[in-house]
Amino acid sequence: MTKWLALSAVIVALDQATKFVVTQRFTLGSVVEVTPFLNLVLVYNPGAAFSFLSDGGGWQRGLFIAIAVIASVWIVYLLRRYSHQRLFALALALVLAGALGNLIDRILIGAVIDFVDVHAFGFHWPAFNVADSAITCGAVLLVWDALRPRKTQIPGPQINADKRR
């Protein structure tokens, strides 16, 4: 389990480091074009994914903090129990890192810092960050893990070939 928690810690550190750099170098609303489809921006999102409940007036902060704490505790429990299942544990470690990275923002500043702006043909994907990317990748891996075929054992007693004679 230690290696999965270490991976989560590295991703949280990367998430917080990138957010620190962005908040030090950008002003709210400034845009830096990196490629024709990618900008760097500084956005504070008090809501959840896709700015869900961002106009909630502040009550949502406690709700999102509680959800992140409960989810993190549950994920650590699952990691302890299933750390030997590599793909499942990797997915959980990524989701845990994302939840903790955004939880830190919510506790310290009351909103999540987003800065990656992907766009094409005049349409902009909602801004996101390293933590959001980790959650998304983890969720995709969880679905992949759930859908992939498993080796099944035939139920019933196993008979040793030597004992059949």
Tokens 């969720």 sit at which residue?
A: 139
The contacts of residue 65 (CB under 8 Å, 6+ apart) are: 103, 106, 107
Is 132 designated active site?
yes
Of 135 and 65, the one with more pLDDT:
135
Is 114 designated active site?
yes
**pLDDT tens figures, 20-65:** 999 999 998 889 899 999 999 999 886 655 454 454 455 566 777 8
User: Per-residue pLDDT for 88 more than 60?
Assistant: yes
pLDDT score for 163: 53
- Percent of the chain beyond pLDDT 90? 65
User: Per-residue pLDDT for 84 more than 80?
Assistant: yes
* 3-state secondary structure labels for all residues of the chain: CHHHHHHHHHHHHHHHHHHHHHHHHCCCCCEEEEECCEEEEEEEECCCHHHCCCCCCCHHHHHHHHHHHHHHHHHHHHHHHHCCCHHHHHHHHHHHHHHHHHHHHHHHHCCEEEEEEEEECCEECCCECHHHHHHHHHHHHHHHHHHCCCCCCCCCCCCCHHHHC
Q: Per-domain residue ranges for the chain?
A: 2-148
Of 21 and 154, the one with more pLDDT:
21
The residue from 15, 105, 117, 132 that is catalytic is 132
Please provide the average confidence, as pLDDT, over all residues in the chain.
86
Tokens 């502040």 sit at which residue?
A: 58
The residue from 105, 114, 117, 162 that is catalytic is 114
pLDDT score for 62: 72
- The length of the chain in residues reads 165
User: Per-residue pLDDT for 158 more than 90?
Assistant: no
Backbone angles phi, psi at 157, to 5 degrees: -70, 145
